[in-house]
Amino acid sequence: MSNNVAYKRVLLKLSGESLAGTDKYGINLDVLRRFAGDVKKVVDLGLELAVVIGGGNIFRGISAAAREMDRVSADYMGMLATVINSMAMQNALENVGVDTRVLTAIPMDQIAEPFIRRRAVRHLEKKRVVIFAAGTGNPYFTTDTAAVLRAVEIEAEVILKGTRVDGVYTADPEKDPDAVKYTELSYMKVLEDSLRVMDTTAITLSMDNKLPITVFNMEKEGNLKRVVLGEPIGTKVRG
């Protein structure tokens, strides 16, 4: 591993919407290729990397129908959407020479391995990228919570949350020009001010396990590498 890398093992959390790029929904191939290239750069540094991707870009296309369904059925549909994104990311990573495994919380043996913690850790030790799909396998839990849960289970040192903005602000910087960026936050500040970092369950689980979160702009090429090299970009959330 490069001596300059700030971490040994990390979990990268991406929203499904980020894969859609400027499209309303679906997977934008240019974005997918760019993300795969960024992941390859950090894997080449010797970093052990796990990934959790949301399903919003797929689910948005069927969200109108989901409004007529009960919450549990809709949540399971969202979990299946994350599997589609995970398989797309796996293919993009393997196209650039990165050995990748998809592990799902819902067994689907024909397309992915079931999530087993020891197996996931072994893949990481062998320098394979591990993509955790299907959330926690349970309704009522977001992919943010799934990301924190998996990060704790594999003993990741940090969650890197890739977003469209370069950190956490006092307000939405895309709507409010006076929004001020935080360079560092406590878990309690996030909870008390209802800042949109992750949902309450995810933040609380991070706080209980002293798992730091770094929020950064994933859409700027090369930022992922800058974060793992310890450059002061984005916003750090910790105790």
pTM: 0.94
Residue 212: per-residue pLDDT:
97
From the CB of residue 219, how many other CB atoms can be counted at a distance below 10 Å? 16
What is the fold, at CATH topology level, of the domain defined by 9-238?
Answer: Carbamate kinase (3.40.1160)
Average pLDDT over residues 1-5: 70
Residue 99: per-residue pLDDT:
98
What does the domain layout of the chain look like in residue ranges?
Answer: 9-238
Please give the Cα distance from 11 to 51 (Å, whole number): 6
Average pLDDT over residues 19-46: 94
Average pLDDT over residues 54-78: 83
Residue 4: per-residue pLDDT:
83
Residue 158: per-residue pLDDT:
97
Please give the Cα distance from 170 to 203 (Å, whole number): 17
User: Alpha helix (H) ranges present in 96-164?
Assistant: 117-125, 143-153
pLDDT digits (tens, 9 = 90+) for 216-227: 999 999 999 999
Residue 199 has pLDDT above 60, yes or no: yes
* Long-range Cβ contacts of 186-190 (<8 Å, 24+ apart): 186/237, 186/238, 186/239, 187/237, 187/238, 187/239, 190/237
Residue 84 has pLDDT above 90, yes or no: yes
Q: What is the 3-state secondary structure (H, E, C) of 147-182?
A: HHHHHHHCCCCEEEEEECCCCEECCCCCCCCCCCEE
Average pLDDT over residues 26-45: 96
Q: Where does the pLDDT of residue 145 fall: very low under 50, low under 70, confident under 90, or very high at 90 and above?
A: very high
| Surface-to-core class of residue 90, CB atoms within 10 Å of its CB (0-12 exposed, 13-18 middle, 19+ buried) | buried
pLDDT digits (tens, 9 = 90+) for 106-133: 999 999 999 999 999 999 999 999 999 9
Residue 65 has pLDDT above 80, yes or no: no
Q: Where does the pLDDT of residue 22 fall: very low under 50, low under 70, confident under 90, or very high at 90 and above?
A: confident
Element containing residue 207 per DSSP (H, E): helix 200-208
R_g of the chain, CA atoms, integer Å = 17
Residue 18: per-residue pLDDT:
92
* Between 124 and 171, the higher pLDDT residue: 124
